[in-house]
Chain A
Amino acid sequence: MTCDSDKLQSYLDGELDRGEKQQLEQHLGQCSLCRQELTRLKLFWLELGAAEEITPPPELIYLRQRIISSVKNVPRISEDSGRGFWETQRQVWQPALLGASYIPGVETLSKLGRATRKQIPEVLSMSAAMARFLASRVGKSKGGDR
């Protein structure tokens, strides 16, 4: 085997296969020039592998916020299907549920009937009108948020 600095570099890089490595180590046993070169390379490797001191700049904190702002409104695929469905359901049913909470029970209906001196169907229709009104208010306030 002849002297080969590239081979020595591959050796230090851990890129030689077992056969090449054995062959080189045999050669190193016989060649003082290659041993010297290997020592120089090892010293050079130490310098190349030394981590440079790089101080992160203070702007990284502002950059962090900018990055977050630019990505946080992007829809997330993994949760969209789940949350999107329930969010839609909530928005669809919320006005109806809110309105339903204003539909009085049987006992209250009779009380309302006595107080207003009206028949139960009329009291029910008043309650339904109140529910529709509340639902429309909720819809408007949600639209205004966008």
Chain B
Amino acid sequence: MPIDDRQVIIWCREGREEAYRELLTRYESYVYKLSYSLTRHREDALDLTQETFIKILNGLNGFQLHKPFVPWLRQVTINAYIAFLKKKAPPGVSLEHELPGEKTVLRDTLAGPDDLHQEVEWRDTRRILQEATGRLPPIYRMVIYLRHQEEMSYQDIADATGLPLGSVKTYLFRARKHLRQELSQFYGWEVSK
């Protein structure tokens, strides 16, 4: 019979190494995938995974056992990511100022001069969309991911990220608009006026 998370956490609190190993085995892929989706960078995702689990294991005594574990794990990962973004941002520049305005299109955020037109013939829509999402500014990408992959509500995203509710909506809608514009260049995806 599988052992539930609660029991594993109780054993972790007792400092049992095999319980730490079990908890990590269960959730390291989840945290890595979330971290990679947010950072789009393998090494950064590994660093975030390590940082998140160290915080989780050291903070298990404060975890309320009657609550589900995954939302807490996700929250700690998001916190670690936001701290990581702040550390990377140039001094004096807030994360909000890094975000492009309404007129910015995804093309402006491209890291290199890659010509996506040449690749489109043999790439599928999903792949193009994932790549375009990867080129979104970090906050936009985070909001898109939390809404569509983690299926969080606007309010839950605001609570988890510390962003105002209005900003969550704005970033989400802008990000979608950018992504649709990006897609509209291929396969005749239409964008509403």
Q: Which residues of A contact B147 (CB under 8 A)?
A: 13
Query: Are A13 and B15 within 8 A (Cβ)?
Result: no
Q: Which A residues are within 8 Å of any B CB, using their own CB?
A: 5-6, 9-10, 13-15, 37, 40, 44-45, 47-52, 54, 56-57, 59-60, 63-64, 66-68, 70-72, 74, 76-79
Verify if B154 is at the interface (C-beta below 8 Å from A).
yes
Verify if B33 is at the interface (C-beta below 8 Å from A).
yes
Could you say which of A47, A68, A72, A76 contacts B61, with CB atoms under 8 Å apart?
A76
With A13-B147, A59-B46: A77-B61 Cβ-Cβ less than 8 Å: yes
Query: Are B148 and A45 within 8 A (Cβ)?
Result: yes
Q: Which residues of A contact B180 (CB under 8 A)?
A: 44
Chain B nearest CB from A30 CB (Å) reads: 17
Give me 18 A-to-B residue pairs in the complex whose CB atoms sit less than 8 angstroms apart, sorted by A's number.
A9-B173, A13-B154, A37-B192, A48-B129, A49-B148, A49-B149, A54-B36, A56-B32, A57-B46, A60-B28, A60-B49, A64-B21, A67-B24, A67-B53, A76-B14, A77-B61, A78-B61, A79-B14
Q: Which residues of B contact A79 (CB under 8 A)?
A: 13-15
Query: Are A67 and B57 within 8 A (Cβ)?
Result: yes
Chain A nearest CB from B102 CB (Å) reads: 13
Query: Are B17 and A68 within 8 A (Cβ)?
Result: yes
Query: Are A48 and B144 within 8 A (Cβ)?
Result: yes
Chain B nearest CB from A68 CB (Å) reads: 5
A78 to B60, CA, bound (A): 10
Query: Are B17 and A72 within 8 A (Cβ)?
Result: yes
Top 7 closest pairs, chain A to chain B, by CB: A48-B148, A71-B57, A56-B29, A54-B33, A76-B15, A64-B24, A77-B61
Chain A nearest CB from B184 CB (Å) reads: 10
With A67-B24, A71-B57, A74-B58: A14-B153 Cβ-Cβ less than 8 Å: yes
Query: Are A60 and B144 within 8 A (Cβ)?
Result: no
Q: Which B residues are within 8 Å of any A CB, using their own CB?
A: 13-15, 17, 20-21, 24-25, 28-29, 32-33, 36-37, 42, 46, 49-50, 53-54, 57-58, 61, 125-126, 129-130, 144, 147-149, 153-154, 169, 172-173, 176, 179-180, 183, 189-190, 192
Which of A5, A48, A70, A77 has the most CB atoms of chain B within a 10 A radius of its CB? A48
A79 to B13, CA, bound (A): 8
Query: Are A78 and B144 within 8 A (Cβ)?
Result: no
Query: Are B15 and A15 within 8 A (Cβ)?
Result: no
Chain B nearest CB from A2 CB (Å) reads: 13
A81 to B46, CA, bound (A): 35
With A63-B28, A67-B24, A76-B14: A51-B149 Cβ-Cβ less than 8 Å: yes
Chain B nearest CB from A86 CB (Å) reads: 14
